[in-house]
Amino acid sequence: MSSSRADIHDNIGWADARPVVSVLIPFLRDDPEPLLRQLDTEAAALAGRVELVLLDDGTGDAALTARLKAVIDALALPARLVTLSDNEGRARGRNRLTIAARGHAWLFLDSDMKPDDPRFLQIWVDLAGRDNPAVAFGGFSLKQAPRDRRFAVHRALSGASECVRAAQRARTPEKYVYTSNLLVRRDVFGFESFDPGFTGWGWEDVEWAMRVSRRFAVVHIDNPATHMGLDTVTDLARKFDQGAANFARVVALHPQIVQTYPSYKAARALKRLPALPMARRLMKDAALSPLLPTRVRAFALRMYRAAVYADAI
C-alpha cells in the first residue's frame, strides 16, 4: 500500500450497520452524487443489508470533498467516504476499498454507472443471499447513456463488444468481467486481489478474472447498469495508448487465454505490417473524421487499438 494519506468520513448509519453487501465505488475527478442518490432510493427496502464505501483516489478537490460529505450525511444507507491525498491507481484503489468493506459480498460499481432497474441493489442482495456466488457480473447497457453525436463512436463500440446479455457473456465468462458492476464474495478476494502491477487504464479486472476463474465459477446475470461516462474518440484513443502496457502484461501472464481473443489476433496480424506506424496514424485519422459513417469510424478505432497493442506484444 502506498503512503498516500487517507481522510475518512462516516455518516451516522455507518457505525451500527451489519451489511450483507458492501458497494465499493472508486472515483477520480468524477462526481458520484447522482449515483449515491439513486442507490439511496432503495434504502427502506434494503433494511440495513447494504453499505456504501467510496474512494476518492486523489482528486484533490476540497470543494467536492466537502459537498460529498454533506451528501453522505443525508443518506439513509450507511456510507463511508475515503479521500486519498494522492492517486493510487485503479488496482491499488480497489484493493484499498475492500479494507473498509464489512459485507459478506462486495459489489464493485463505477461512479459513472446508472442502474437500469429500480431494484438494482435488491437484486444483488437477493442473489448473494440465495446463491452465494463467488463472482457475478451484472452487465452493461446504453439504455440511459447520452446520445450526443460526439459520443456516437463510443456508443457503437460499447454496444457491439460490451453490452451483451448474460447468456452470451457466459460462453467466455472470464472475458466479460469488469469492475463497473461486479459482485465478489469476500473469501474469493482473499485468494486473488487486483494486481498492483497494472497502472494506467484497462485490463486489470479482466486479468483478475482470468486468475479467479481457475478456482471459482464466474456467473453472469442480467442486472445491468448504464455506462454514463461515454468518451470522445480523442479520449478513447488516449486510453488505448495508456492501456497498451497493461495488454502486454496480460499477454505475458495468460498467453493461452489471450491468444483466443480477437484483439490479440488482430494485433498479431497488424504487427507484420511493414508500414504499421503510418497505418496506425491513418486509422486514427479515420476514427476522428466526422465525415465518415459512425460504423466506419468505430471499425477504424478498433483497428487503431489493435495497432497500438501490436507495438506492445
Which pLDDT tens digit goes with each residue over 147-197? 999 999 999 999 888 899 999 999 988 888 888 899 999 999 889 888 888
pLDDT at position 194 is 85
pLDDT band at 3 (very low <50, low <70, confident <90, very high): low
Quick one: CA dihedral 146, 151, 157, 162, positive or negative? Answer: negative
Top-level class of domain 6-230: alpha beta
Grid coordinates of 56: 476518492
In the chain, what are the helix, strand and coil shares in percent, each to the nearest 5?
45, 15, 40
pLDDT tens track for 42-81: 999 999 999 999 998 878 889 999 999 999 999 999 999 9
Beta carbons of 267 and 240 less than 8 angstroms apart: no
Domain ranges of the chain: 6-230, 233-313
Beta carbons of 91 and 194 less than 8 angstroms apart: yes
- Position 2 pLDDT exceeds 60: no
- Phi/psi for 140 (5° steps) reads -105, 160
pLDDT tens track for 16-32: 999 999 999 998 888 99
CB atoms within 10 A of CB 111: 22
Angle at 190 between CA 189 and CA 192, to 5 degrees: 55
pTM of the entire predicted model: 0.88
